[in-house]
Structure 1
């Protein structure tokens, strides 16, 4: 009888330890942190959105389109930079119209979102739109690197989305 009780105790402890180890491996491999497989698979879909090809005729794409999954915040993204060869106001007016025509809804506008000195940049998008695509809410940001002290010669479009709702402009 004592042998049976000891065996049951050993098996129960071993089973409990296996569950704890498996849960730890799951959490460290993205279960609680990082991108899900669904969000990693969403990045190429975001990169193919037609809005990223839409730009004023006076501007030209720079570099290659980029996409991926933000492991820190757990959302998919894609974007494109453009050479700024027209006024900032013209770019913003263009995207207000073009995004609306493509089914995007304006969620926020801040034509000069520069953070104050020595503060954290929370939202640097001059325009923020959203729409449903690929089974989730997708956010579109029109932003200017110069608002963060970067180049004043370009602007960017970036789309972000996550199946768990953690994406934003």
Structure 2
């Protein structure tokens, strides 16, 4: 048992992770989950976009993985127009709401940052999805 504990402590020291960080969970994030789920940008949409029924994955939620605690929320919209219309809408709506383009976004990615949150717009065959991730 002492060898196992020594191995865990050595691994955490080498990776820069503490045991406390690895033990983090979603306890106490209920308020933040509700705040992220209520962000107005998630309900902003261009004309002709129609909201699809929300899936369980889009519901505001918290998840913890290897010490990272992330709150997320999403929406999916059907849209008959061009992707450029959606992109133009969110560039303007995000700017007005204090989001800025994420400088680390790759070519063709539509990602915005605000404080500790990221908003991504991902296109599908028949519309697009919005996802907000907040790193706690």
TM > 0.5: yes
Q: Is the 8 A contact 1:79 1:159 kept in 2?
A: yes
Taking only aligned residues, the RMSD between alpha carbons, in angstroms, comes to 2.1
* Matching of residue 71 in structure 1 with residue 64 in structure 2: yes
Q: 1:33 to 1:58 in 2, by over 3 A?
A: farther
* Counterpart-to-counterpart distance in 2, 1:159 and 1:86: 23
Segments of 5+ residues of structure 1 without an aligned counterpart are 1-26, 112-125, 147-151, 164-169
Q: How does 1:126-165 map to 2 (within 5 A)?
A: 126-132=109-115, 137-144=116-123, 146=124, 152-163=125-136
Segments of 5+ residues of structure 2 without an aligned counterpart are 1-18
Q: Is the 8 A contact 1:142 1:156 kept in 2?
A: yes
Q: Is the 8 A contact 1:141 1:159 kept in 2?
A: yes
Higher gyration radius (CA)? 1
Indicate the structure whose relative CO is greater, using CA pairs within 8 Å and at least 6 residues apart. 2
Q: Deviations over 1:80-121 (max 9, x none)?
A: 00002211111111111110011101113632xxxxxxxxxx
Task: State the aligned residue count.
Answer: 111
Q: Is the 8 A contact 1:39 1:75 kept in 2?
A: no
Q: Is the 8 A contact 2:120 2:131 kept in 1?
A: yes
